[in-house]
Structure 1
Amino acid sequence: MGAVRAHADGSVNTGYFGGVAIMGYDPVAYFTDGRAVKGSEKFTYDWLGTPWHFANDEHRKMFMSQPVKYAPQYGGYCVGEVSLGSVTVNVDPEAFKIIDGKLYLAYDKSDADVIAAHAGDFLPKAEANWPTIKVRLERDQIN
């Protein structure tokens, strides 16, 4: 189980401030609404040691039943950076793409567009790099 903490062990990106996954945005809304929607502390669920916020109770329940389906890939870190073998805590929750049913976050909207246009290049590299990056994030969180 790993999300800065995509999972609280260091592998869930909570940004520099707040300690909340996706900076408090609702991960389910990307799929149901097709856009970034700010969640509410009223609808919170703790998964992988990190609080996740939702716009409503229905979204919270959907996430609780299938968190892996809705959580962003690579712990919510920028997919472009992960593809390069690194991570940046800075992501824009509104810079996202859903590719093959999976949510990817990026540094900014133009970065998300480039990644989507060249997913065949970026995604295999990110997938190959993520296990090593995840271990490094978890180790750094402990130290």
Structure 2
Amino acid sequence: MNRFVLTIAAAATALSFANAAFAGEQFVDETGFAVSGYDVVAYFSLPQNAVGQTNTAPVEGIKSITAEYNGATFAFSSEANRDLFTANPEKYVPQYDGHCAYGVAKGGKVPGNPTLWRIVDDKLFLNITPNVVGFWEEDIPGHINMSTGNWPSLDPQPAADRTIPQWSSMAPKG
């Protein structure tokens, strides 16, 4: 019995290293920050509206409070949020390296707009435009399932190099 437990633990460790080694590039827009400089930890404490309604505006990060992860700089609104992030970045980073969740479901990497967000099963998802949010919200579990299936082939590809449509980007404060 102990041998089996150790084997599972060894396999889990190997898989975690493998996932880190094959992580794709984080989407970074013209602000130079992941998630356009918004505080990814803060999303998890914001009130979330019902499906079909626009969510609360995200919280801007501060240029001097940052952390590096997956080759990108993340900005935070407080040192406490930065510390929460550095202790467990996988909990807070947007799914699909910040790319549009619906785009990944449809088989491509397109920018994720940080103002079009939703927390599902304690994970942060972004989409690209309000119209796309409407399509994604028609079947969130189904689209997440498709995205999960598509992501292994998309993940190693370079990050999206397009800008977010109709988005006037905003670098972090201060």
AA aligned to 1:13 is F
Q: In structure 2, do the counterparts of structure 1 residues 100 and 116 end up closer, same or farther at CA, with 3 Å as the change threshold?
A: farther
Question: Is the CA contact 1:97–1:105 (under 8 Å) kept in the aligned structure 2?
Answer: yes
Query: Which residue in the other structure is 2:25 paired with?
Result: 11
Question: Is the CA contact 2:113–2:126 (under 8 Å) kept in the aligned structure 1?
Answer: yes
Question: Is the CA contact 1:11–1:74 (under 8 Å) kept in the aligned structure 2?
Answer: no
2:46 corresponds to which of 33, 40, 51: 33
Q: In structure 2, do the counterparts of structure 1 residues 103 and 111 end up closer, same or farther at CA, with 3 Å as the change threshold?
A: same
SS of residue matched to 1:68:
helix
Structure-1 separation of matches of 2:131 and 2:123: 19
How many pairs were matched up?
131
Cα distance, 1:111 vs structure 2: 2.7
Percent of matched pairs sharing the same residue: 27
Q: Which whole-Å deviations, capped at 9, do the CAs of 1:84-111 have from their partners, x for residues lacking one?
A: 110112x321100101111000012343
Q: What root-mean-square deviation, in Å, do the aligned CA atoms of Structure 1 and Structure 2 show?
A: 2.0
Q: How does 1:111-130 map to 2 (within 5 A)?
A: 111-130=132-151
Work out whether 1:100 is the aligned partner of 2:121: yes
Q: How does 1:58-137 map to 2 (within 5 A)?
A: 58-89=80-111, 91-137=112-158
Higher relative contact order (CA 8 A, sep 6+): 2
Higher radius of gyration, 1 or 2: 2
Structure-1 separation of matches of 2:77 and 2:137: 26
SS of residue matched to 2:118:
strand
Question: Is the CA contact 1:24–1:53 (under 8 Å) kept in the aligned structure 2?
Answer: yes
Q: Which runs of 5+ in 2 are unaligned?
A: 1-19, 48-55, 160-174
Q: Which runs of 5+ in 1 are unaligned?
A: 139-143
Query: Which residue in the other structure is 2:33 paired with?
Result: 20
SS of residue matched to 2:158:
helix
Cα distance, 1:11 vs structure 2: 2.1
User: TM-score if structure 2 supplies the norm length?
Assistant: 0.69
SS of residue matched to 2:124:
strand
